[in-house]
Structure 1
Amino acid sequence: MNGESLVKVWDPVVRFFHWSMLSAFTVAYFTDDDLLTPHVYAGYLILGLLVIRLLWGVVGSRYARFSNFVRSPAVVIAYLKDVAAFRATRYLGHNPAGGAMIIALLVSLFAITLSGIALYGIEESAGPLAGAMANVDPFWEDVLEELHEFFANFTVALVVVHVAGVLLAGRQHGENLVRSMLNGYKRASLPEHSKR
């Protein structure tokens, strides 16, 4: 990076989670009911990755911890206004909008996996909820089906916004954030921004 000093920001767990989640979600989204076995396995992988990320968000490295990037809605809105005015502060870790996006993605992905496991129990009499879902009214099956599909499509929309945000932030701050998520390094921040 032209002699600029670099700092390790994204640890291997965060990077593994990010790219594994992208891969597993892509498989699950495009297999759907047509190829049920890979769809189900991808869903279980997503759930496992979510559990790991939740734990890592509490005990992980500095920039992986939720305490480092979860901000109030007011802070997120103020940051987005600064982005629109092209004066957003650069963060080494996740900026407030990025932190909000992570929470939205995690919640949406949990909704997908939990509704999917319930549907698997109802429709296939399989999975960890098969016994509990054995005699569920068809109304609830339809509700779960709609929720599962809604959150899958909502997650795609979130990913599109996430990628747009990454590209915009990278452009505003003159850095390749995709490369940072691949190799873990970012350009060292100015001292006044190094708190985050």
Structure 2
Amino acid sequence: MNDSVAVRVWDLPTRVFHVLLAVLVTAAIVTAEVGGDWMAWHLRCGEAVLSLLAFRWAWGLAGGRWSRFTNFLPTPSRLARALRGRASADERIGHNALGALSVWAFLLLLTLQVATGLVADDDVDTTGPLNAHVGARLVKRASHWHAGWGADLILALIALHVLAIAWYAWRKREPLLRAMWSGDKPLPPATPASRDDAASRGLALALWLAAVAGVWAMLRWVG
């Protein structure tokens, strides 16, 4: 766009969240595959992911404009317009409808995966930190999901995510990774930007520290 300017779409807390989540989920997958003594690190990765997810659920309410859940709800009408190639300009600024569907799937599935991991038992030598507080029937179901369908669906979502990014970069010439790294996209000057100043970053830090403290307290006093 000849008359476009760099507009802040992804605030710094959202970008940091994405990077840390990718690193921690990858580490959790690798340590689970290696097994043995590495399962202790698998549990630590899961606990760190839990604190990140708690932060993101809060940031979806208090974060920058395009990071808020209200701005990327994958409603039926939005999905229909996206599939027909008729999405409005506003609907293409942050997550489009299909991208929003992927984000919600990730958040919900990872939350379920962490929750089941907290009580799971691998029948070898690793149990979740809250395993002793639930019944045997729930432990069995949670363990089956965590090591089975839950893990497989996460791997499938990761593969789809990578393919979608590659497709957008190749066919539509949209460098999604660059925008996520810098936070900016070339857009019309009147496009509203996400707030990303010292105050909002301070709020994000406070929310993340609260999430970390909450997870630590739950594992320390309940586990």
TM-score (norm 1): 0.82
**Counterpart of 2:157 in structure 1: which amino acid?**
L
Separation in structure 2 between the aligned mates of residue 24 and residue 162 of structure 1, nearest angstrom: 16
| Local SS of the residue matching 1:187 | strand
Separation in structure 1 between the aligned mates of residue 23 and residue 71 of structure 2, nearest angstrom: 26
CA 1:46 to 1:94, structure 2 compared with 1: closer, same or farther past 3 Å? same
1:160 Cα shift? 1.6
* 140, 143, 148: which one aligns with 2:141: 143
Residue of structure 1 in register with 2:215 after alignment: none
Residue of structure 2 in register with 1:48 after alignment: 51
Stretch moving more, 153-162 or 106-115: 153-162
Q: Which has the higher contact order (CA 8 A, sep 6+)?
A: 2
| Local SS of the residue matching 1:131 | helix
Q: Which runs of 5+ in 1 are unaligned?
A: none
How far does the alpha carbon of each residue in 1:8-55 deviate from its partner, in whole angstroms, 9 at most, with x for none? 111111101101000000010111143111100100111111010000
Separation in structure 1 between the aligned mates of residue 170 and residue 127 of structure 2, nearest angstrom: 49
TM-score (norm 2): 0.73
Separation in structure 2 between the aligned mates of residue 78 and residue 22 of structure 1, nearest angstrom: 30
Residues 170 and 176 in structure 1, CA contact (< 8 A), matched pair in contact too: yes
CA 1:74 to 1:151, structure 2 compared with 1: closer, same or farther past 3 Å? farther
Residue of structure 2 in register with 1:117 after alignment: 118
Residue of structure 1 in register with 2:185 after alignment: 186
Q: Structure 1 runs of 4+ off > 6 angstroms?
A: none
| Local SS of the residue matching 2:185 | strand
Residues 119 and 143 in structure 2, CA contact (< 8 A), matched pair in contact too: no
User: Is 2:28 the partner of 1:25?
Assistant: no
Separation in structure 2 between the aligned mates of residue 189 and residue 148 of structure 1, nearest angstrom: 45
User: Is 2:161 the partner of 1:162?
Assistant: yes
1:121 Cα shift? 10
Matches within 5 A, 1:74-89: 74-82=77-85
1:151 Cα shift? 1.3
Stretch moving more, 167-176 or 109-118: 167-176
Residue of structure 1 in register with 2:74 after alignment: 71
CA 1:153 to 1:112, structure 2 compared with 1: closer, same or farther past 3 Å? same
User: Is 2:92 the partner of 1:58?
Assistant: no
How far does the alpha carbon of each residue in 1:55-100 deviate from its partner, in whole angstroms, 9 at most, with x for none? 0000101011000111313421431232xxxx66562211111111
CA 1:171 to 1:4, structure 2 compared with 1: closer, same or farther past 3 Å? farther
Separation in structure 1 between the aligned mates of residue 121 and residue 98 of structure 2, nearest angstrom: 34
**Counterpart of 2:146 in structure 1: which amino acid?**
H
What is the number of equivalent residue pairs in this alignment?
186
Residues 120 and 140 in structure 2, CA contact (< 8 A), matched pair in contact too: no
**Counterpart of 1:93 in structure 2: which amino acid?**
G
Residues 82 and 97 in structure 2, CA contact (< 8 A), matched pair in contact too: yes
Separation in structure 2 between the aligned mates of residue 183 and residue 100 of structure 1, nearest angstrom: 23
